[in-house]
Amino acid sequence: MLRENPSVSGYTLEGRLKSVSGEGNTSSSRLYTVTSNLQVGETMDNMGGEIDFLRGFFTIDRVGNYEIVNGSFSFKGGQGVLMLQGEL
């Protein structure tokens, strides 16, 4: 779930991440808890919508903490897309 969080001047992300790996005809999956406080660095208009450029950290349970090196949240016409790229 992504929700606005005025205390961090941005958003809070809480949820589950499903990771699937496989080889041949078999696959396995794991669920991880993900949490993050995302700060908005800049907001730009984009063809009738908005893009928030994000920074901060996100945590994947049992994996580690990632620094966000490229993050954005775009919102247009009632639809939102969150993209995060991080490094350990």
| Interval 32-73: pLDDT, tens | 999 999 999 999 998 888 999 999 998 999 889 999 988 999
Give the Cα separation of 66 and 56 in Å (integer): 9
pTM of the model: 0.73
24: three-class secondary structure by DSSP:
coil
Under 8 Å CB-to-CB from 71, ≥6 apart: which residues?
A: 38, 53, 54, 55, 56, 82, 83, 84, 85
SS3 label, residue 8: helix
Q: Is 9 left (phi over 0), alpha (psi -120 to 50) or beta?
A: left
